[in-house]
Amino acid sequence: MRSNLSDFKVLDVKTSQRREVIDYGVKMVGGPLEWAETKGAGIKVGVIDTGVALNHPDLKTRVKDYVNFTSSERKNVLDDNGHGTHVAGIVAAERNNLGVVGVAPEADLYIAKAFDKEGYAEFDAIAKSIQWMMERDVDVINMSFSAQTADQGYQQIISQAYNQGITLVCAAGNRGDGESADANTIGYPAKFDQTIAVTAVDMNKRRADFSSVGTEAEIAAAGKDVYSCYLDSKYATLSGTSMATPIITGAVALLQAKGVARYKRRLTPEEIRLLLHVYAEDLGTVGRDRKYGFGLFSFGRINKSDYVSRSTPVNMSIAHRNAAVRRNIGMEMMIAAALLIL
């Protein structure tokens, strides 16, 4: 049983990025509005992928531990594909006055290389990666990959991580909307009940044509033309639900950091899910639907203009800082409500 990276597309590569920018996907999710309170410091984020460019200037201080399950060279997580580095950058590229900024730029990254150069992984490598992350007690795991089938062993390892309190964020897949109105093109592990299936939208909050659909669709984020870190200290624009997934993973890291700061404990996966749902901007048909799930998650763009500029300078204006304070107050009430409900 093999998983793959769902035919993500590399659209453009830049050799350098001198001015630090916030990509539209990070802006759309409202990450900068939370940075006045937290940037995700102390939160452990697991990324199962093709490895990472350890010396990338935006990532080299964010990676705290790593392992390779594609060969016997356990400490060789060289990314020879680019996908893993791009995903890691979306989650936690740091603020360092150059390059890009991730959704949670102070979160700690735990990298497991389970996918080869061609973007394929055997289940055994994925299972070992999840187990390794469980042993390190990560808070959230990003899984930007998909398979059309899954066996009992896959279900068991996912359940174990979930029962340990780890939030599991997964790409819905890039198989489009199928040939019939009721087609379900979402793959595993996104299809499991314990995971959060992330679909992709474009800059105008419209469903990306490649984004899979199905009843398991839970939350949407930017996944088309997303700019992040790449190989050889470069930067690239990629498209796929693989890119939308780490945006939600970064948002989960911020939610967990707020939960720890205010409630002195990690929020449960179900508490995280409730917060994602109530902070989602409903798109498509009213209520949860097969394309967007509960809608586009955002800390602060609900009822704002549909258009989001591609990138903005990282410095926050006074108005943005004030907005962040207002949103933080609202988030505190929302988390309290979530804990009360649950």
* Helix-helix angle 152-163:123-135, to 10 degrees: 10
- Residue identified by tokens 């950091």 is 257
Q: Which residues 6+ apart lie within 8 Å of 158 measured at CB?
A: 130, 168, 189, 192, 194, 195
The residue annotated as part of the active site, out of 146, 242, 298, 311, is: 242
Closest CA to 104 of 125, 124, 90, 116: 90
The residue annotated as part of the active site, out of 3, 83, 139, 225, is: 83
Instruction: Give the three-class secondary structure for 4.
Output: strand
For residue 83, indicate whether it is catalytic: yes
d(C-alpha 94, C-alpha 106), whole Å: 6
Number of H helices, E strands in the chain: 8, 16
Residue 166, Cβ density class (10 Å: 0-12 exposed, 13-18 middle, ≥19 buried)? buried
Rg of the Cα atoms in the chain: 18
The residue annotated as part of the active site, out of 3, 23, 49, 311, is: 49
Give the bridge partners for 198, in sequence order.
171, 219
- Count, residues in the chain: 342
In order of 26, 75, 102, the CA distances from 249 in angstroms are: 11, 24, 11
Active site residues: 49, 83, 242
